[in-house]
Structure 1
Amino acid sequence: MKFNRILAQAAAVLVATGAAQAASHSQTENPMVGGAAMLPTMTIVDNAMNSQDHETLVAAVVQAGLAETLKGAGPFTVFAPTDDAFDMIAKDSLAALMMDENKAQLAQILTCHVVAASAMSDAIAGMIAADGGAHPVETLGGCTLRATLSGDTITLTDENGRDATVTIADVVQSNGVIHVIDRVLLPKQ
């Protein structure tokens, strides 16, 4: 599977820093997401399935055949678009992406939201500062996102110039971390 090949080739950016921060993160510190408790003992997929704000993302992950991978050991950082973010995509375009014949394209879009490391927001902010205000984020989908910081808010810009803001950061999972975002990021068009 292409995703597994990309995963094997991906550089583990910030694994040590992110893992150390995640290990020190207690269950009571995880924010609620989509009306559900996010348990750090559960995987990214299992927690996302409980979020009422991520029903489209979960359906897309299942349709793309990525659920088992994202239930794996990781570590992963997932920039998780909400249902409202998916609603910004034209309904007919989204319906077409969810068709079996477009599974590869859907998988690429989704993996452009996944990094092969557990990167907490403090680590991302540190990289942004170290890189003079913008840090390139290499994803498993082959996209390079640009991370910037304004105050405490992290913004990700895709290769098309589309911005997504991290609205909920540092949701620790057993196999990584989720950062909720307000827009779907896309591969270069």
Structure 2
Amino acid sequence: MKFNKLIIALAVSTGVLVSCNDGKKNEEEIRLEEQEMQTAEADKAAKEAEEAEMKAQQMKEEARANSIASKAMAAEELDTLVLALKAAGLSEMLMAEGEYTVFAPTDYAFSQLKKGTLEDLTKAENKEQLVSVLQYHVIPGIMRSEDLGKAIDAGNGKAKIQTVKGEELTIMRDGDQIVIRDGKGKKAQIVLGNIEASNGVVHEVNKVLMSK
């Protein structure tokens, strides 16, 4: 009888020991599984962040490639403007994010300036004046041809718009054409409008605009 009791006691002890070991094993397995899950989640989050950063960079590069400055560089009639923008240090501004409307003087427009004017403006000592002249052609916000037309109609035939420098231009119609009058009373005609860019719109004009 004592022998049987001893066997039973040993069996119970062994069962308890095995059960404890199994419990410890299960806890360790759970801990490892949780650790693996956390590592996998961290790796996934890092990968998603990297992909998001790459996508953002790609979008930024695409935006720059389609910016106002890039559109001007690609245009056949805006070579002089591009050189002037570079001399003024404004190329980066027109590549950056934002919303602008640019009245872009064509090569012909620059050729109509008084002899020596462009050469003087592009000299290093006259950079501030060149910046002022070019910024007089830039309007904050996007105004396509139809928006300019609506503003003219709302103003009973003409409307005033402000440049990024806070100076005024007057827009009006000449027949079926939209013209821009500068501070000196000179009128420029839009010869090619609605050139879409990632940061605005460009209208090519046949005169260089000058403030008062």
Normalised to the residue count of structure 2, the TM-score between the two structures is 0.68
Q: Equivalences for 1:71-150 in 2 at 5 Å?
A: 71-150=95-174
Alignment of 1:1-189 (within 5 A): 42-188=66-212
Q: Give the share of equivalent positions with the same residue, in percent.
A: 36
Structure 2 residue ranges without an equivalent (≥5) = 1-62
**TM-score under structure 1 normalisation?**
0.76
Encode CA deviations 1:23-69: one digit per residue, 9 max, x unaligned: xxxxxxxxxxxxxxxx9970010111111211110000111011101
- Which deviations, in whole Å up to 9, do the C-alpha atoms of 1:120-166 show, x marking residues without a partner? 11011001100111100100133211000234311000010010000
SS at structure 1 position matched to 2:133: helix
Are 1:40 and 1:172, in contact at CA under 8 Å, matched by a contact in 2?
Answer: no
Matched-pair contact (CA < 8 Å) for 1:115–1:140 = yes
1:169 Cα offset (Å):
1.0
SS at match of 1:47: helix
CA distance in 1, matches of 2:182, 2:99: 22
Structure 1 gaps of 5+ residues are 1-38
**How many residues are paired up?**
150
Q: Which has the higher contact order (CA 8 A, sep 6+)?
A: 1
2:64/2:96 contact within 8 Å kept? no
Which residue type is aligned with residue 156 of structure 1?
A: I
Rg: which structure is higher? Answer: 2
Deviation, 1:74, is 1.6
More helix by proportion, 1 or 2? 2
